[in-house]
Structure 1
Amino acid sequence: MKAKAQRSICIALVALSFSSALAACQSNSPSDAQNGAAGTADEHRTLTVEVFDRGKPGQPDLNHNFWTTYINDNFGKQFNATVKFVSVPRAQEVDKLNVLMAAGQAPDISYTYNQGVVYNYVQQGGLAELDSVLQEHGSTLTKYLGDDVLKYGKFNGKQYAVPGKRTVLAGSNTFIRKDWLDKLGLPVPTTPEEFYDTMVAFKEKNPGKVTGVIPYAYSLQPANPGLSYIPEAFKPSNLTEEQVATLQPKAIWEANWSMPGFDKAVQYMNKMYHAGLISPNFATDKDGKLSDADISNGKVGAFQTNWDGPYRTAPGTYANLVKNVPGAELIPIDPWQNDAGKHPKNGYSPNGMYVIIPKSSKNVDLAIQYLNWMADPKVTLFLQNGEEGVDYNMVNGVPKQTGTTNSGDKMMTVANNLDYDILSNGIELGDPKKNEAAISTGYPGYEKDVENALKVGMVDYYTNYFYSIPNAADAKNNAALKNLSAQMLAKLIVAKPAEVDSLYQTLVQQYMDQGGKAVEDEYIKNYKDQNSK
């Protein structure tokens, strides 16, 4: 699924040279590294901070713009420091960060969304321990995040990362062409069976009168190969906590080969494929761009993506669809009902990105002071919205943008400016209800649609089991197993229906032999160790 590739990048294992470089980093005095003792308290220092370069057309200089000026005029002057931003390409952030860490040149404040990458750095001894410095300099920060978020940055019982706080936990939604349903007089499907029958009707009756109709758009992406939320309908509802934790350790939209019911989900997709109901080029559409184009051109009846995917400005599928097909209408639906009549949705955990500080940094104290300053509600409000009365107006306690941050020196290259406000993944007003009310204002023209999509996306929400003990086997084998999973899914979806069961067993055994069993065994061991304490 295209959108999910954005929230969990394929783990890149650190090269051998990285180990040597980290060993060299560890030769620094621990007291110097931990306390940032590069000089006296009065000495002017430079704090380097990572910032994603998203390559957005017209974006300003990422190190010199309205937001960086605000940061330096406020935090910088208060702490006698200059904050220098180091841009990293968003699409290559893991690879780039690995290179910077190996060379001992990673910014004082670096970050990634990938827990496995952070764990690799911890294992190599490349990150500063943060417990004592958080206690000394992070009172506002730790209060804002709370233990439920901070725990995601603990490894081996010690704090090595400061997790950002995710304010929107919805994961994905299934969207359908309501105008097609209306033309055929069909109800909104609420079960897998109804969804299948609706897709058949879309194919046979082609309500859009398009050439090459695609009832259900699907692309198999190697970064996160899976079946979106379809497995939710086939996973038994009576699984124990241990079974869910160990057999579905990854997000539901990824391939969980040992999860009960996953084979049934594969059979469902195989049936869809042979009935001509899914994208014929699903296996080669590795970045989802072909699916986006098909949706925009009015060829697609239904698809799954981020809970807010159609309303985003990039790739702008809904706006392009309406432009190309006047009268087209998309709505979120909830067809993946399980055996208990529920519609479970595996959403995001409450943590956002992992903010880390290299052990080689001599500004560990200053880095935590920077994050602590950023946790101030007034700072968060400014970084996410700008200047009141100029960049936004407060209406019923919710900031409404005026449009000044869409271009020029104030351009936000991502919603809520989260590349600079790295502690908050999503709008943050200090109140969950206000946050929800404010979300829709970030989608001009789609406010009501977004409110409804968020509501649908949170029905029967749950998140994955939290492991305080990282899985080393997963970190080692993750990239190879994801690649293998993509190949397996492609083969199973196109296989002859009579051969799916036997092929499934053969391929899963191959998966287990090539590292899957080691990963599963370690999850089982970690679960038992974690719950025996």
Structure 2
Amino acid sequence: MQRKAITLAMLTAIVGMGTVLSGCGGPKEEPPAASGNSEGQQSPFETKLKITMFNQGTFNAAAPIPPREEDIQRQMLEEAVNIDLEMMIPQSGQATTKLNTLIAGGDIPDLIFLKSRADLAQYYDQGVLADLTPYLDQFPELQKRFSSDSWEAVTYQGQTIGVPGYDNVNGISRSYFIRQDWLTKLNMEVPTTPDELFEVMKAFTEKDPDGNGKNDTYGFIGGMNKEGNLQTYGFDSLMWMFGVNPPSAIDVKDNEPVFLYTDPKMKEALAYIHKMMEAKVVDPDWVTMNTPDLLDQKLFKGKVGFMIRDARRLEPDYQQKMKEISGEVPEWIVIPPMTGPYGDQIVERKSFQGNSWAISKKADKEKIIRILSMLNYFFTDQEAYPNFAYGIKGIHWDVVDGKIKNKTSELSKDMKEKYLWVDHYRMPRRGDDAEYFSFQNPKTAEAFENNQKYVAPTLPGNLLTEDPNDSLAADRQRYINESLVKFMTGKEPLSNWDNFLDTLETKFDMQRYKESVIKQFKEAGLIK
């Protein structure tokens, strides 16, 4: 049934294209009487077009491009919309140089994958990219495939200049891990609020939960990256309990920008973390935790009772590492995030849709419609989905007991290497598709799926582009990072909070920054 719906969307696009082209004498394509689909039936397009694709969105840039006769996914795309697809995969780290060389030589690819909104806006400003606004209403299924904030991310100066590239994955990397065996020993329940969590962390630190008679356990471990940013290392998750986040987090409320790092709630979040520091429930090694690997070592050693880590640490390979390092497999479980004092229950914010597909301005209307038809099929055809998301039927996936089963994790190393090229086509995989990951431990899939309800919408601040005239941007960011760390550790008393705000205004020209933010939010239609 879904294939018919997709074909109808394509036919609608063709009718719309005919309407557009009739006014300028362009060619028309009449849809065939029969419906086309992903099993090789006739495409609704009669004339074959060559489409060049610059695919830096591949999930494996090192994988070779197979010959057309072996490339099943390529064949599906070509047959679905009657195209000759020529795909370029730039080498890792050389994509920008390669693309700029092509553009400079006038050989602009028809379809370009871009990794950031900044690149999308820059190439549009340079006249390289087409405005897709006049065409997208002809593809309602494609529009429904991505969330409104993903479409906002590819909107610039009121025009839609791209199609979202692929879903970012949320609800797995920042999971709330806690030691169930320690809770059981101390006769405590899974915490559900910040206050309950504090009491649990305190007990984990003081009551010898591992029973070795030593004062060698802690309630929590976090960290910060080498630039001094607290995001993604655990402390930011504690701040989300209060509905705020470290630098770059900007919301819009009551037609005004709200800088969450200066919001009064941030002061409360910092007070909570400072309380943890004073109670010595935070492993003092947190100041050296500046890579994810170091935090993993703490997880494996099992001397910390609560931390924020990736739910995939429940997978067998990581469980084995725990056994090798600590001599046991601690009973880690993933729990829901705490419900904060203002009702916030956030595991993380949805990642910003930075990546996108853009179409060359050199493409005529016929080619734009054909490319959008291909993307429509690529992202919305449900029967084709496993062929792109998982790989090749019978090798990477199959139907077991009437359900699709991803078998990738069961493949030998040789088989995985033989078919590395399927990674060039995985973009349609949904960010909340547990089957895509082929989890081996059912608890991992359960944690991933449960976390989805706690992924909050992305913040509008992600839409901002840096003001090139803001010479204080880097110093301002550094000052904010350093101040938050000083407040939460007690090196700077929270009684100096107002001084922090005043310094931002006077020394770092916060007002000018606010004006730039308001201007961009108005251009995006987020502020009237």
Same fold per superposition (TM over 0.5): yes
Does residue 372 of structure 2 align to residue 372 of structure 1?
no
Does residue 514 of structure 2 align to residue 520 of structure 1?
yes
Match for residue 337 of structure 1 among 329, 339, 343: 339
Does residue 262 of structure 2 align to residue 258 of structure 1?
yes
Match for residue 200 of structure 1 among 193, 196, 202: 202
Residue 199 of structure 1 deviates from its aligned partner by 1.8
Match for residue 231 of structure 1 among 229, 239, 249: 239
What is the DSSP-based 3-state SS (H/G/I as helix, E as strand, rest coil) of the residue aligned with 2:196?
helix
Note if contact 1:352-1:424 (Cα within 8 Å) is conserved in structure 2: no
Match for residue 221 of structure 2 among 217, 220, 245: 217
Residue 180 of structure 1 deviates from its aligned partner by 1.7
Residue matched to 1:247: 258
Larger radius of gyration: 2
Residue matched to 1:432: none
Write the deviation string for residues 295-346 of structure 1: whole angstroms up to 9, x where unpaired: 122232211135x342468xx6445225544341111234533225553455
**Following superposition of structure 1 onto structure 2, how do residues 231-380 of structure 1 map, counting pairs within 5 Å?**
231-235=239-243, 242=253, 246-248=257-259, 256-306=260-310, 308-311=311-314, 317-324=318-325, 325-334=327-336, 336-340=338-342, 343-348=345-350, 353-357=355-359, 359=361, 367-375=371-379, 376-380=381-385
Write the deviation string for residues 131-153 of structure 1: whole angstroms up to 9, x where unpaired: 346567x6764464476753432
Does residue 84 of structure 2 align to residue 81 of structure 1?
yes
What is the DSSP-based 3-state SS (H/G/I as helix, E as strand, rest coil) of the residue aligned with 1:332?
strand
Note if contact 1:285-1:291 (Cα within 8 Å) is conserved in structure 2: yes
What is the DSSP-based 3-state SS (H/G/I as helix, E as strand, rest coil) of the residue aligned with 1:304?
strand
Larger mean Cα displacement after TM superposition, 152-161 or 218-227: 218-227
Identify if the C-alpha distance between structure 1 residues 401 and 346 changes in structure 2 by more than 3 Å, giving closer, same or farther.
closer
Residue matched to 2:180: 178
What is the DSSP-based 3-state SS (H/G/I as helix, E as strand, rest coil) of the residue aligned with 1:400?
strand
Letter in 1 for 2:449: L
Identify if the C-alpha distance between structure 1 residues 124 and 145 changes in structure 2 by more than 3 Å, giving closer, same or farther.
same
Write the deviation string for residues 384-424 of structure 1: whole angstroms up to 9, x where unpaired: 2234344323246542123455644545999xx77523244
Q: What is the rounded CA distance, in whole Å, between the counterparts of 2:329 and 2:521 in structure 1?
A: 52
Letter in 2 for 1:383: F
* Uncovered stretches (5+) of structure 2, i.e. residues with no partner: 1-23, 25-46, 245-250
Does residue 449 of structure 2 align to residue 454 of structure 1?
yes
The alignment yields a C-alpha RMSD, in angstroms, of 4.4
Residue matched to 1:154: 155
Identify if the C-alpha distance between structure 1 residues 464 and 67 changes in structure 2 by more than 3 Å, giving closer, same or farther.
farther
Note if contact 2:53-2:86 (Cα within 8 Å) is conserved in structure 1: yes
**Following superposition of structure 1 onto structure 2, how do residues 114-153 of structure 1 map, counting pairs within 5 Å?**
114-132=116-134, 134=136, 141-142=142-143, 144-145=145-146, 149-153=150-154
Letter in 1 for 2:56: E
Does residue 443 of structure 2 align to residue 442 of structure 1?
no
Q: What is the rounded CA distance, in whole Å, between the counterparts of 1:169 and 1:397 in structure 2?
A: 28
Residue matched to 1:383: 388
Q: What is the rounded CA distance, in whole Å, between the counterparts of 1:135 and 1:475 in structure 2?
A: 37
Larger mean Cα displacement after TM superposition, 196-205 or 276-285: 276-285
Identity over aligned pairs, percent:
18
Match for residue 47 of structure 1 among 46, 53, 57: 53
Q: What is the rounded CA distance, in whole Å, between the counterparts of 1:468 and 1:474 in structure 2?
A: 17
Write the deviation string for residues 145-175 of structure 1: whole angstroms up to 9, x where unpaired: 4767534321112111211464865373321
Note if contact 1:53-1:87 (Cα within 8 Å) is conserved in structure 2: no
Q: What is the rounded CA distance, in whole Å, between the counterparts of 1:228 and 1:118 in structure 2?
A: 29
What is the DSSP-based 3-state SS (H/G/I as helix, E as strand, rest coil) of the residue aligned with 2:426?
coil
Does residue 487 of structure 2 align to residue 492 of structure 1?
yes
Q: What is the rounded CA distance, in whole Å, between the counterparts of 1:368 and 1:475 in structure 2?
A: 37
Write the deviation string for residues 64-99 of structure 1: whole angstroms up to 9, x where unpaired: 39998223333346645243342454xx6xxx5544
Note if contact 1:112-1:355 (Cα within 8 Å) is conserved in structure 2: yes
Larger mean Cα displacement after TM superposition, 345-354 or 149-158: 345-354
Q: What is the rounded CA distance, in whole Å, between the counterparts of 1:212 and 1:474 in structure 2?
A: 50
Identify if the C-alpha distance between structure 1 residues 469 and 47 changes in structure 2 by more than 3 Å, giving closer, same or farther.
closer
Residue matched to 1:422: 427
Identify if the C-alpha distance between structure 1 residues 496 and 352 changes in structure 2 by more than 3 Å, giving closer, same or farther.
closer
What is the DSSP-based 3-state SS (H/G/I as helix, E as strand, rest coil) of the residue aligned with 2:53?
strand
Note if contact 2:177-2:334 (Cα within 8 Å) is conserved in structure 1: yes
Q: What is the rounded CA distance, in whole Å, between the counterparts of 1:150 and 1:521 in structure 2?
A: 25
Identify if the C-alpha distance between structure 1 residues 518 and 405 changes in structure 2 by more than 3 Å, giving closer, same or farther.
farther
Residue 487 of structure 1 deviates from its aligned partner by 3.1
Residue 425 of structure 1 deviates from its aligned partner by 3.8
Q: What is the rounded CA distance, in whole Å, between the counterparts of 1:184 and 1:70 in structure 2?
A: 56
Q: What is the rounded CA distance, in whole Å, between the counterparts of 2:491 and 2:462 in structure 1?
A: 42
Q: What is the rounded CA distance, in whole Å, between the counterparts of 2:402 and 2:517 in structure 1?
A: 45
Note if contact 1:111-1:355 (Cα within 8 Å) is conserved in structure 2: yes
Letter in 2 for 1:186: M
Residue 382 of structure 1 deviates from its aligned partner by 0.5
Residue matched to 2:71: 69
Identify if the C-alpha distance between structure 1 residues 202 and 465 changes in structure 2 by more than 3 Å, giving closer, same or farther.
closer
Residue matched to 2:17: none
Does residue 394 of structure 2 align to residue 392 of structure 1?
no
What is the DSSP-based 3-state SS (H/G/I as helix, E as strand, rest coil) of the residue aligned with 1:50?
coil
Q: What is the rounded CA distance, in whole Å, between the counterparts of 1:115 and 1:332 in structure 2?
A: 33
Residue 493 of structure 1 deviates from its aligned partner by 3.5
Q: What is the rounded CA distance, in whole Å, between the counterparts of 2:363 and 2:224 in structure 1?
A: 40
What is the DSSP-based 3-state SS (H/G/I as helix, E as strand, rest coil) of the residue aligned with 1:383?
helix
Identify if the C-alpha distance between structure 1 residues 173 and 184 changes in structure 2 by more than 3 Å, giving closer, same or farther.
same
Note if contact 1:44-1:81 (Cα within 8 Å) is conserved in structure 2: yes
Letter in 1 for 2:195: E
Q: Which has the higher contact order (CA 8 A, sep 6+)?
A: 1
Note if contact 1:189-1:335 (Cα within 8 Å) is conserved in structure 2: no
Note if contact 2:397-2:407 (Cα within 8 Å) is conserved in structure 1: yes
What is the DSSP-based 3-state SS (H/G/I as helix, E as strand, rest coil) of the residue aligned with 1:73?
helix
Q: What is the rounded CA distance, in whole Å, between the counterparts of 1:258 and 1:50 in structure 2?
A: 37
**Following superposition of structure 1 onto structure 2, how do residues 13-32 of structure 1 map, counting pairs within 5 Å?**
none
Note if contact 1:270-1:493 (Cα within 8 Å) is conserved in structure 2: yes
Write the deviation string for residues 269-291 of structure 1: whole angstroms up to 9, x where unpaired: 23323443334343443322211
Write the deviation string for residues 187-226 of structure 1: whole angstroms up to 9, x where unpaired: 2222222222222222223423488544312121249633
Larger mean Cα displacement after TM superposition, 174-183 or 218-227: 218-227
Residue 531 of structure 1 deviates from its aligned partner by 5.7
* Uncovered stretches (5+) of structure 1, i.e. residues with no partner: 1-30, 32-40, 249-255, 428-434
Q: What is the rounded CA distance, in whole Å, between the counterparts of 2:526 and 2:78 in structure 1?
A: 45
What is the DSSP-based 3-state SS (H/G/I as helix, E as strand, rest coil) of the residue aligned with 2:383?
helix
Q: How many residues of Structure 1 are paired with residues of Structure 2 in the alignment?
A: 457
Q: What is the rounded CA distance, in whole Å, between the counterparts of 1:289 and 1:103 in structure 2?
A: 37
Larger mean Cα displacement after TM superposition, 173-182 or 335-344: 335-344
Identify if the C-alpha distance between structure 1 residues 51 and 457 changes in structure 2 by more than 3 Å, giving closer, same or farther.
closer
Normalised to the residue count of structure 2, the TM-score between the two structures is 0.70
